[in-house]
Structure 1
């Protein structure tokens, strides 16, 4: 009997298209997907307010709805939803930034700076999607008293650890057809970007299992 699977996916650029945030082409796969997230937003905002004194940064918590709409192309309602943060803080550079120094400062506070498909993000150190995925999988296995195969899908380098930690990792290409510059050994490269690539790759994996 084949082992049951748990699927974890990124949202922007993977389950959702990069530009219009549509998941229309992933509807077949949606029913299989569990979404992982982590980090405390309050501790991240405290750090961010402090670090802005040293670096020219602007986070979602500093932006107006119109700012977010201009950067993302979201509708007003969707932009408002995206600004109701519980975990990470997306941000942009408003000048020249020494990224290594910024990462060092974040590390001192138990935080990390990671690059997503569109923004940089501040997240809690050691509590990214890989850890959340492994923790949730452990809970499932403990509750159901059986093992599960984990499948993870993402398009950016900041979640490389999740792709590595999963039994099956899928890297989704960007809209221009290129892939994040990461070691893709033992990681499947999807054929299409966004929801179409997510849907096709996931259904092929499930059909083969």
Structure 2
């Protein structure tokens, strides 16, 4: 089994970003050495802190599929075309942050948008509930730009203009995101899954957990998709064979549905 999970609103609670209620399932996953792959819009720096807190060293996908990071030497995997950075083998499906920002700055005033690159850590903290230190890590972008948009602005017009420049606009739980056109969480999950399959004799069952629209691309690809309800908006509008729906939001829902699945597969 390989588990792919979103963070905000899924493994982490929507309001306080805590994951403590998921510790029973997380402990079982760690003891069984089941790969737990984080798939998030967060930055590498943010994910490193969360992985350390959980106690895992599995690969992770950041900034909506913009970058894929494997600890160098992870399970002796030989990852083709990987680059090396700060102790990681990494793959870069997305654009560079400099490319993203150049386009963003051209359209900023036209569409009434404001990105993380235009905000202080204090502003980001006030929008997210993060501490200022955590917000500084959220500002440390490598591949994408989260942004807010003034009410009534032309989202579709911005999307069309972004597409002409090889980029795309996606919607997360709190923010819009300007990303590379050829990246999304689903494509990155496929790349990670294929790397595992190249190094393991048996095809692993894939599990995916998410709560928002930008999780759809990978939830449609895994063998067992699991929807975590948003505390206000409920479930993502999605239906496919084998889909599971957690009964609670955030880490409590994540834990309950994963404990049931781990029991079913005797993990």
Fold match, TM over 0.5? yes
Q: Report the alpha carbon displacement of residue 29 of structure 1 after superposing the two structures with TM.
A: 3.2
Deviations 1:23-62 (A, max 9, x none): 1111233335211232232322222112214210001111
The alignment yields a C-alpha RMSD, in angstroms, of 1.6
Q: Contact 1:177–1:192 at 8 Å: present in 2 too?
A: no
Q: How does 1:76-115 map to 2 (within 5 A)?
A: 76-115=132-171
Tell me the SS of whatever aligns to 1:43: helix
Q: Report the alpha carbon displacement of residue 132 of structure 1 after superposing the two structures with TM.
A: 0.7
List alignment gaps of at least 5 residues for structure 2: 39-60, 67-94
- Larger RCO: 1 or 2 (CA < 8 Å, sep 6+): 1
Residue of 120, 124, 129 corresponding to 2:176: 120
TM-score, length basis structure 2:
0.72
Does residue 201 (structure 1) correspond to residue 257 (structure 2)? The answer is yes
Counterpart position of 2:37: 34
Counterpart position of 2:104: 48
Q: Distance in 1 between matches of 2:189 and 2:229?
A: 22
Count the aligned residue pairs: 204
Deviations 1:48-80 (A, max 9, x none): 112214210001111011111110111111111
Q: Distance in 2 between matches of 1:161 and 1:47?
A: 24
Counterpart position of 1:162: 218
Does residue 184 (structure 1) correspond to residue 239 (structure 2)? The answer is yes
Does residue 20 (structure 1) correspond to residue 23 (structure 2)? The answer is no
Q: Distance in 1 between matches of 2:147 and 2:191?
A: 27
Q: Report the alpha carbon displacement of residue 95 of structure 1 after superposing the two structures with TM.
A: 4.3
Residue of 3, 7, 22 corresponding to 2:3: 7
Q: Distance in 2 between matches of 1:161 and 1:7?
A: 15
Q: Which stretch has the larger CA shift, 105-114 or 160-169?
A: 105-114
Q: Distance in 2 between matches of 1:28 and 1:108?
A: 47
TM-score, length basis structure 1:
0.91
